[in-house]
Structure 1
């Protein structure tokens, strides 16, 4: 419906009143009893005038409000709906427009934040891959320029080249794993198994790494050795390995990493706790982001890809469970996640 100008509405109302006034004059002029005529015609014409004014004003409000509703709700209200709520329709529309603007503002902020993370991610991928590539380039050039004939250099640089290639492969494999987890391509194979035994296997594999830093790997008090869960065993092995390796890398000398289990009816809560350097409150919300490092220099010294915790989070969420982190700088960090009890 086209918008009706206020001047046209005034014209319609004026014509209506003129017609009513003329009819009023004619009816009362030819009426034998003026009093009875007035008692009948005044209420009648008042009602007609009110209906006409109400109709034209409703048309005007409908024409103005309809585009707003179409914009914020893609909704086409009928004229009766607007007429019924005309008393406070403007305050209602103002409220809905304000809520719509608030939602759009939040959406824009989220898009900006996502774009920021995307740029950071691309920059991080570039940096993480650039380092081993430049290392490989340097080693190969040294060998080509005569180092290949030097027994003291050739094997050393070839071994370093291999390590840089392995690092690149690790980064690519981790990125591929995250991509598959996010897209749902990686299907989980749920089996029943003993979680205590799985953690014990991880302890055995990481024993040498922990010994180098004099860190003790242990189970929490009263850990149930018979507790079983329903999960994807290889993926859960990856989760616990990542968390324990992190606890070792960021633990303090002669520290301790403890894995505990808590019965929660249909769920089992698994906690991996250390008494290491901890994570600042500023960094804590971002620890599960890809390539995010709270301690960048130390992370690279340990050889991590910066994708471990991102993979951990995706695997746990693929199990329809949650993972949380709590930390106090200088006192340690605790990662907790839930699993379905078998």
Structure 2
């Protein structure tokens, strides 16, 4: 009997010691997690909490903490990129406003300080002042358009639109400019039945105007600009293409970013402000569509707009 009680006492003692060891291990793990988490937060590193433990509840807690850390790190990186983008945008806008305004002031100083100018010479300078002022107004309009689009203040009414008809009208509007520059025009628009899609006629005109202007400005070296309309599954596709200088592979994923203005990219449609393709992308997305680009320089550069088919 004494032996039995002795064995029971030993088992209970071992159990107490095991529980005490386990408690100390849990305390050590929690202290490590607290210290490591504080260091990651204070130093803003991209580390994770790594801990060897058999405690399934502690493992689950660590997994959720690591998910939260990853989310926080992505949010911080996104915020940092946004700050860079905003600073770059303000710098570019400031530069693009300062340049024409400096020219305007220069012309006005000549007019004010040179009494020997003839009326004809004054009129020429005033015409230049007028043109530069219009340039500034256009740039400011593009900037505020982008602000409204990104803030959600620009509501677009979606309805049934005839994509074929709108595309025909736009390519015809550019036809004289294209032929004057000795650029071949290739049009492929189905005439068997209308290509109807969900969208907004006015905004699609703006999108096509931006993309065609871009193709002419940067693709004229290839001496051909094309526009195709086609049906693809439940979408209506629009391709605007050229065989000009194209877009390098490293820029294709970023060409629609706000204020992306590397010299060899093509997102400099509006006096280097980097607003043109960004506005185009936002307008397409507002209509529930997508826009993408593929490019092989001096072979073919294609901007593709996809809108949801109406029927």
| TM-score calculated relative to the size of structure 1 | 0.74
Distance 1:134 1:194 in 2: 45
Name the structure 2 match of 1:178: 146
Distance 2:266 2:160 in 1: 37
Residue in structure 1 matching 2:289, options 314, 321, 327: 321
Mapped pair 1:132 → 2:100 = yes
**Residues 296 and 226 of structure 1: is their aligned pair in 2 closer, same or farther, counting only changes over 3 Å?**
same
**Residues 306 and 109 of structure 1: is their aligned pair in 2 closer, same or farther, counting only changes over 3 Å?**
closer
Mapped pair 1:259 → 2:223 = no
Mapped pair 1:155 → 2:155 = no
Distance 1:96 1:204 in 2: 58
The answer to whether the 8 A contact 2:248-2:295 is kept is yes
Distance 1:297 1:147 in 2: 45
Deviation at 1:99, TM superposition (A): 6.7
Q: Show the 5 A alignment for 1:39-118.
A: 39-42=4-7, 44-66=8-30, 68=33, 71=37, 86=54, 106-118=74-86
Residue in structure 1 matching 2:2, options 37, 49, 57: 37
Residue in structure 1 matching 2:110, options 134, 142, 147: 142
> 1:66-103 CA distances to partner (integer Å, 9 max, x unpaired)?
4637959xxxxxxxxxxxx7368888888777776666
Mapped pair 1:121 → 2:86 = no
Moved more, 100-109 or 210-219: 100-109
Name the structure 1 match of 2:257: 289
Distance 1:53 1:148 in 2: 106
**Residues 141 and 324 of structure 1: is their aligned pair in 2 closer, same or farther, counting only changes over 3 Å?**
same
**Residues 245 and 147 of structure 1: is their aligned pair in 2 closer, same or farther, counting only changes over 3 Å?**
farther
Mapped pair 1:187 → 2:151 = no
Deviation at 1:278, TM superposition (A): 0.8
Distance 1:236 1:272 in 2: 13
Structure of greater relative contact order (alpha carbons < 8 Å, 6+ residues apart): 2
Distance 1:178 1:195 in 2: 24
The answer to whether the 8 A contact 1:263-1:269 is kept is yes
SS in 1 for 2:156: coil
| TM-score calculated relative to the size of structure 2 | 0.81
**Residues 148 and 156 of structure 1: is their aligned pair in 2 closer, same or farther, counting only changes over 3 Å?**
farther
Q: Show the 5 A alignment for 1:183-262.
A: 183-220=151-188, 222=190, 226-253=194-221, 255-262=223-230
**Residues 293 and 332 of structure 1: is their aligned pair in 2 closer, same or farther, counting only changes over 3 Å?**
farther
**Unaligned segments of structure 1, at least 5 residues:** 1-35, 73-84
The answer to whether the 8 A contact 2:85-2:258 is kept is no
Deviation at 1:170, TM superposition (A): 0.9
**Unaligned segments of structure 2, at least 5 residues:** 39-52
Structure index of larger Rg: 1
Deviation at 1:311, TM superposition (A): 0.5
Distance 2:287 2:34 in 1: 42
